[in-house]
Structure 1
Amino acid sequence: MQSMEFPLVVFTVLSQAAIGLTMMRAVRTVSGTPDTDARKEWLMIAGLMALGLLGSLFHLGHPTGAPRALVHLGTAWLSREVLFAGLFMGVAAIAVLSAGVAAKSAPAWIGAALGLGLISSAGMTYAPPALPALNNALPAAFFLTSAVILGAGFGGWFASPERQPLMARIFTSALVVGLVLYLIAPCVWASGGTVMRMTGEAWFASGFYWAHIGILAACLAVIWKTKSIPVWLPFLALAGELIGRAGFFADTLHTAINMGGLY
């Protein structure tokens, strides 16, 4: 892609944080007494999603034309991404505005399902043939991992004491998965075609990449030492995902980079 695409960094990471929080709320409703502060949690979910959507408008040459992105639902994954984002935002807004709804499990499960639809659509949007390294399931895997890391991290703010260990376990597992994914992917690309190999080399040479890996490892070290999620740790994880997503956009090479070259 070779451009940091800051508006898309903001949109994808913040929307995935909102989705992750919703997923964790759904998980916590499976058994036991419902957590308190349901409205505050939904307010954070809606706020993150709204900020993400607002940020995405700066990617458009004509922001007022954004609704037209829905006209190709049958053929374009981007249109489906926009639809799922709008529906998710609607569920979050309803939960915030309706006192009785916010504490129930149905909005969380509906929101989680819509969120997974948004992650899947975004994964397909950023997996075109022109990006050989990402023309697979990796974008969706990266996005889902970010959602779980951030959802479990910030979800610790709202979980009851008896569910704090659950959030810590999910957070730890997601960090390990993220480290494995990001360390292995460029190695696999190194054995691929010319542009895929060049992408792997670009990632390994990128400050974004190593800063992201370092922050994931630091978060993992902190939670292994403390056996819990300190209040400040989700902010470090958020910074890591923003940096990593900037690298995702800036360091992934398009086939045009080798136009006229030998394959």
Structure 2
Amino acid sequence: MQQSMELPLVLFTVLSQAAIGIAFMRAVRQPAEAAGGNARNEWRMVAGLMLVGLIASLFHLGHPTGAPTALKHLENAWLSREALSAGLFVGLAILAALASGKEGKPIFAWGGAVLGAVVILSTGMTYAPPAFPALNNALPTIFFLVSAVMLGSGFASWFASKNHQPLLARIFTSTLVVGLVIHLAAPCIWLSGSEVMRLTAQEWLGSGFYWSHIGIMAASALVIWKTRTIPVWLPVLVLLGELLGRAGFFADTVHTAANMGGVY
């Protein structure tokens, strides 16, 4: 059966991935960041996005005060690993925001990139359960990584030096194209899968969330192809597209209970 939109999880996953993506871009630029960058404000944005995402995620819990118990099963639960790595990441981001100067410190950049990658992997595995055949694979991790790099390169352009703007524009454009291809291909592949996968494909292809997401990515690719730079407003538009797409990810993916008692 279809799931609810899960707004707290939409906000947590998208905002945390934007924060992680900015940290990725910080690491990409760190070895040769020229004067003109603004590491302290960049880390402030990373910490702010991550904190807002974590606070939003608490509203998904029946008892928010019990959130620390998510750490009890690190040996066998990806959710516990996600909680731990996200907490470590936000701690590092806050420390970097307090300790970084204008140019930043490599240890924060590389530490943020490593922890961010662990968060992406843990989140991807958390949302790839057997009960959702269409997502019981590497696709959630790929979707989340694409979101992180796309949003990260977009928002990093607000802080990067002029010398690094072309690099960020290339990363942003390439990730947009990859994201479009993956999101268009996935439902088509599901159509040739099991009954529940076919149902998921039909839900996605008939969803306003899905087509709004596709439309915003396509429009963003057209804008950057015309301008060859990342306009200051474009990352905000892409963020809106990712929020819509993530809402569809949760609302339009079909659970195996939809065909309970049926022939698979």
> Aligning the two structures, in what range does the TM-score lie when normalised by the shorter sequence?
over 0.9
* Aligned-partner Cα distance in 1 for 2:8–2:55: 9
2:125 aligned partner, one-letter code: M
1:99 positional shift: 3.8
Q: Give the 3 Å change call, closer, same or farther, for CA 120–167 of structure 1 in structure 2.
A: same
Cα shift at 1:101: 9.7
TM-superposed CA distance for 1:33, in Å, is 2.5
Q: What is the rounded CA distance, in whole Å, between the counterparts of 1:8 and 1:229 in structure 2?
A: 28
Q: Secondary structure at the match of 2:262?
A: coil
Indicate the residue corresponding to 2:6 in structure 1: 5
Counterpart residue number, 1:247: 248
Match of 2:144 in 1: 143
Corresponding position: 1:91 with 2:92? yes
Q: 1:25 to 1:99 in 2, by over 3 A?
A: closer
Q: Match of 1:231?
A: 232
Q: In 2, distance between residues paired with 1:232 and 1:16?
A: 19
Q: Could you tell me which residue of structure 1 aligns to residue 43 of structure 2?
A: 42
Q: Paired residues, what number? A: 263
Q: Structure 1 residues 125 and 102, CA, compared in 2 at 3 Å: closer, same or farther?
A: farther
3-state SS of paired residue (2:232): coil
Quick one: distance in 2 between partners of 1:174 and 1:192? 27
Provide TM-score, normalisation by structure 2.
0.97
Would the aligned equivalents of 1:131 and 1:254 in 2 still touch at CA under 8 Å?
yes
Partner of 1:215: 216
The letter of the residue matching 1:114 is L
Matched residue, 2:74? 73
SS of 1:159 mapped into structure 2: coil
Structure 1 residues 187 and 236, CA gap change in structure 2 (3 angstroms): same
Measured after TM superposition, the shift of residue 36 of structure 1 is: 2.4
Native 8 Å contact 2:151 2:235 kept in 1: yes
Q: CA distance change for structure 1 residues 32 and 10 in 2, over 3 Å: closer, same or farther? A: closer
Q: Which residue number in structure 1 is paired with residue 117 of structure 2?
A: 116
Which ranges in structure 2 are unaligned for 5 or more consecutive residues?
none
What is residue 126 of structure 1 aligned with on the other side? 127
Which segments of structure 1 move beyond 4 Å, counting only runs of 4 or more? none
Q: Which residue identity lines up with residue 83 of structure 1 in the other structure?
A: L
Instruction: Indicate conservation of the 8 Å contact 1:34/1:103, yes or no.
Output: no
Shift of 1:35: 5.0
Aligned amino acid, residue 229 of structure 2:
S
**What residue number does 1:189 align with?**
190
Under a length normalisation based on structure 1, what TM-score does the superposition of the two structures give?
0.98
User: Alignment RMSD, CA only?
Assistant: 1.2
Deviations 1:51-107 (A, max 9, x none): 000000000000000000000000100000000000000100101121459711110
2:47 aligned with 1:20: no
Distance (whole Å) between structure 1 residues aligned to residue 212 and residue 236 of structure 2: 15
Structure 1 contact 95–101 (Cα < 8 Å) conserved: no
- Identity, % of aligned positions: 67
**Paired residue type of 2:3:** Q
Do 1:3 and 1:249's aligned partners in 2 also have CA atoms closer than 8 Å? yes
Gaps of 5+ in 1: none
User: In 1, are the aligned partners of 2:16 and 2:49 still within 8 Å (CA)?
Assistant: yes
Whole-Å separation in 2 of the counterparts to 1:82 and 1:53: 9
